[in-house]
Structure 1
Amino acid sequence: MKAKKLQFIFDEFEHQHAYKSHSELKSGHINDTFLVKTGGETHYILQRINHTIFKDVPGLVNNKVLVSNHLKSKYSNTSEEKITNKVLRFVKIKNSNLYYLKDGENYWNLMIFIDDSITHEIVKNKEIAFEAGKLLGDFLNKTSDFESDKLIDVIPNFHDMTFRFQQYNASLKSASKERLEKASKYIKIVADLKDEMHILQTLKETGKIPTRVTHNDTKISNSLFDENNQGICIIDTDTVMPGIIHYDFGDAIRTICNTAAEDEKDLSKVEFNLAFYKAYKKGFLENTVDSLSEIELKYLPLAAKTMIFIMALRFLTDYLNKDTYYKTDYLEHNLDRAKNQFKLMESFTEKKYNLT
């Protein structure tokens, strides 16, 4: 984006700093995110929110701000400077809205950049896994007393297993004979696991597992660290909404504990990293054990398997639908992604008796 255009948008916010330069941050796949450097000590993250994915952007921004304000309230005896390094802080525009709407189409929001912070695209050691677990645990613990019904569902049915099976069953009916044949092994696996993969959904719907504030995008790159790899905070809260903690724990495990890339075709490289699982869980429980119920703790291992399965199912569904949702680089990209996740789930199942 040209500097003048981005500077104009930046100056619609009440920040009282002079734009100096900007660079695009490319770690996300949905929104456009820019680091704006100023002439002062404070820098900013300016984000264009993808309104084709997120249908209610004002509601989404309100979610983020409500949760950040709640987190900030947990640091009542902490200086403003230190709070800035622990909680995402959003900047209003000149009419007091927390987002800027340009040309009636593009939504923007502005956050204060947390200095001397880094992110990781992959986990390289147990220490980082442990710190990431602590960060998620801290986030869930500090929001455990927030009334989740104050938040909107930014992506309805995002982790709803019944909904995902409805999509999958529709894809079976419309898929070509060739794609059905190539996916036949995995279609059988899905059928065999259907009942088990609805357990968490049923527990949620019957109220046996409480609905809480959940992040819903807990990949490692959404954990912020300092230069010594000590955890700072959870970022990218666009998908914060009501859910169960198993969604967050399970998806973090899915992304952190795969020894290969998500679309690795050589399945011999795909294994479940048990050491990273134990480190992450240890950090997670360090900050949540007093706020989680006995039944929530009991089903943490199933959460990992369920979230691996749901991504395998989504990739498989998209393959059968001729690749209408995920971007693909070649004809069977989604099938390879699905195979990868099913192999990860198989490895997890083989090791599940050693999880504690």
Structure 2
Amino acid sequence: MQSPKRALEEWNINLPHIESPDQGLINGTWVLGDPPQYVLQWVNPIFSPLIHQDLQVVLKHLEQKGCITPNLIPTRDGSPCWVEENGCWRIWSFIEGSTIHKIENQSIAVQAGALVGTFHRALSDINHTFIAPQRDIHNTPERMNELKAALDRSPGHPLEKEATVLGEKILQAWKIWDGTMDQPKRICHGDLKISNLRFNADQSKGVCLIDLDTIGPNPLSVELGDAWRSWCNRSGEDDPTAAQFDVDIFAASAKSWMLNAPELLQIEKDSLVGGIERICLELSARFCCDAINNSYFKEDQIRYPQKGMHNLVRAQSQYTLAMSAKENRKICTQIIDQSYNDRK
């Protein structure tokens, strides 16, 4: 990977840059300017540079629908990104506001649901064939097969015992999961963790969605299962003992989303709640797999100096959250059904 300073030469931008405090697990992010003017990102090579051509189409459509979006700043030769040997770089316009990492109250949950519902409605009539290869990241059966393979390779690994015990629990929970896999797809954001929603300064209103690399066709149950996995966790990804599904946050956000969302098919509505447990188990499997493989997710090596331990902790947290979501499935289904009926 080239340095941020070298990348900025491709835009003829000479601004101070600092590493963003809101780093994701995949890409690298720097804030440019003081006060901030742009956001520079190194894009992991798991994403094709072609995603930027798709993003230009989607961003234009969102703007035409009145949605606020960050804009891609073209390089000095007019390209939406600069491609180098190990990934590519891009610059976004900076959106004023705040980023949060945990929903602390129902008011924020309402705003989050409204923002995402509006986003889904705005994209419900887009007519675009995606150019970039679509990542099959939410192929849950395949993620479970990858976990099995990782556990088979684990003998001799320092975390073999812990990863095997947890991995077998994850696989068993997936085996008895009784949700629906065969669902229609819509154009979705693809990664609705709460830190990918931008709020205004006092967090009284949702402003826009960011980190748009993952936009593409997905079932709504996958899209919202991932959202509620993030939004409704009372602890965080690094606290497996306290992970619990917050039904009140779910209710506030689900009702607000339903009021702003496009019309749903019956199968879409009926599959939403089951998607929460599915995505929790899927992410738990991915973290557990990477605890052995150490090939994908960044780890906090200061808090977790033993290689793989951070991912193992994350895997346990997501498994605990999956079990909590399962326990609350009946009441969550009632909330969805009532919200769906109220909008008719």
Question: Which band: TM-score by shorter chain?
Answer: 0.7 to 0.9
Distance in 2, matches of 1:349 and 1:38, equals 46
Aligned to 2:341: none
Deviation string, structure 1 residues 122-154 (Cα, Å, up to 9, x no partner): 111111111111111111111112235325345
Two-structure CA RMSD over aligned residues (Å): 2.8
CA distance in 1, matches of 2:5, 2:310: 39
Output one character per residue of 1:98-118: Cα deviation in whole Å (capped at 9) or x when no partner: 11235x555222222223x11
Q: Which residue of 1 aligns with 2:188?
A: 214
Q: Identity of counterpart residues, as a percentage?
A: 25
Matched residue, 1:26? 21
| Residue 213 of structure 2 corresponds to residue 238 of structure 1 | yes
Task: Please report the TM-score for the alignment, with normalisation by the length of structure 2.
Answer: 0.83
TM alignment of 1:27-66, pairs within 5 A = 27=22, 28-37=24-33, 43-51=37-45, 53-54=46-47, 56-57=48-49, 59-66=50-57
Mapped to 2, the partners of 1:324 and 1:72 lie a distance apart of: 37
Q: How much does 1:188 deviate?
A: 4.6
Letter in 2 for 1:248: E
- 1:69 Cα shift? 1.0
Contact 2:80 2:90 in 1 (8 A): yes
Report the counterpart of residue 273 of structure 1 in structure 2. Answer: 246
Give 3-state SS (helix, strand or coil) of 2:222's partner.
helix
Normalising by structure 1, we get a TM-score of 0.81
Alpha-carbon separation, structure 2, partners of 1:148 and 1:198? 33
* 8 Å contact from structure 1 (residues 161, 197) kept in 2: no
Q: Which has the larger radius of gyration?
A: 1
Amino acid paired to 2:191: D
1:3–1:21 Cα contact (<8 Å) kept? no
Separation of aligned partners in 2, 1:2 and 1:312: 33
Any gaps of 5 or more consecutive residues in structure 1? 13-18, 76-82, 204-208
Between stretches 29-38 and 178-187, larger displacement belongs to 178-187
Counterpart mapping for 1:26-175 below 5 A: 26-27=21-22, 28-37=24-33, 43-51=37-45, 53-54=46-47, 56-57=48-49, 59-75=50-66, 86-101=68-83, 105=86, 107-115=88-96, 117-147=97-127, 149-154=129-134, 156-175=135-154
Structure 2 distance, partners of 1:148, 1:106, is 25
Q: Is the CA contact (8 Å cut-off) linking 2:174 and 2:278 kept in structure 1? A: no
Q: May I ask how many residue pairs the two structures share in their alignment?
A: 323
**Match in the other structure for 2:11:** 10
Q: CA offset at residue 212 of structure 1?
A: 1.5
Q: What are the ranges of 5 or more consecutive residues in structure 2 without an aligned counterpart?
A: 336-344
Give the letter aligned to residue 83 of structure 2: L
